[in-house]
Amino acid sequence: MRKVLLSPSLLSADFSNLASALKLIENNGGDAVHIDVMDGQFVPQISYGQPVIKSLRPLSKLPFDVHLMVEKPELMVDSFAEAGSDWITFHHESTVHTDRLINHIHSLGKKAGISIVPSTPVESLSEILHLVDLVLVMSVNPGFGGQKFIPYTLEKIKKLSNIKSQKNLDFLISVDGGVNSSNAQSVIDAGADILVSGSAFFSGAFKMEDFKA
Ligand code: DX5
Ligand code: ZN
């Protein structure tokens, strides 16, 4: 039986009290802290960046699962690594030289993830799946917390999970957007290894122990 990890997203926390959000994550089954970085270009809003990660870093022992929703992530990965990110995930749609960037993230001693928006096919990752530690399948269009899970993305998770077992690969499948207690079991059954949850987790309605792989 595989262990499914929970990575609560700080995007739904009270930004005036991120320290207590970190405590809440640690005390409620969080295995990592999902940190959504938005640049106002790749997605319309601006959230937080390197200085915020740096000041949060001493407050938690959990891995920082940094999701870069930014244009030109290659210009930023060094500073995000330096600030204390552990897993650095960038978008396939945001840059051309994905192979180079994955290798570069590894050279910084960090785990490398690649993310795809709902309209990007999993097949577009086929050449680089053996390089990554994590694939983040977006189940909403990125940019905002609290959106509704897009049902067709379940098929994408299943497809990715099949490719993973056929090719005997060991990247983790993370699913991000609209995950809640009514769809979490199907997301796990489809093959997810990590559930990202923002609004459902911070509303207190989502408990990992209700689900099993
Ligand atoms: C969306 C972000 C997600 C989001 C998750 O752009 O990448 O991490 O905040 O929040 P919920 O669970 O509310 O969809
Ligand atoms: Zn995210």
1 pLDDT higher than 80: no
**Position with higher pLDDT, 213 vs 63:** 63
CA 73 to chain centre: 15
110: left (phi over 0), alpha (psi -120 to 50) or beta: beta
Mean pLDDT on 77-101: 98
Return the active site residues: 36, 176
**Position with higher pLDDT, 205 vs 106:** 106
CA–CA distance from 153 to each of 116, 117, 175 (Å)? 11, 9, 9
- Ligand 1 close to Cβ of residue 143 (< 6 A): yes
- Ligand 1 close to Cβ of residue 177 (< 6 A): yes
Per-residue pLDDT tens over the stretch 118-127: 999 999 999 9
2: CA distance to ligand 2 center in Å?
A: 22
Q: Which atom of ligand 1 is nearest to the CA of 146?
A: 13
213 pLDDT higher than 90: no
9: CA distance to ligand 2 center in Å?
A: 7
**Cα-based angle 103, 108, 113 (whole degrees, multiple of 5):** 55
134 pLDDT higher than 80: yes
Does the domain spanning 5-210 belong to CATH 3.20.20.70?
yes
CA atoms of 98 and 170, how far apart (whole Å):
19
197 pLDDT higher than 90: yes
Residue nearest to atom 1 of ligand 1 (CA): 142
- Ligand 1 close to Cβ of residue 11 (< 6 A): yes
Per-residue pLDDT tens over the stretch 40-75: 999 999 999 999 999 999 999 999 999 999 999 999
- Ligand 1 close to Cβ of residue 9 (< 6 A): yes
SS3 letters for the chain? CCCCEEEEEHHHCCHHHHHHHHHHHHHCCCCCEEEEEEECCCCCCECCCHHHHHHHHHHCCCCEEEEEECCCHHHCHHHHHHHCCCEEEEEHHHCCCHHHHHHHHHHCCCEEEEEECCCCCHHHHCCCCCCCCEEEEECCCCCCCCCCCCCCHHHHHHHHHHHHHHCCCCCEEEEECCCCCCCHHHHHHHCCCEEEECHHHHCCCCCHHHCCC
Domain-by-domain residue ranges, the chain? 5-210
Would you place residue 2 in the very low, low, confident or very high pLDDT band (cuts 50, 70, 90)?
A: confident
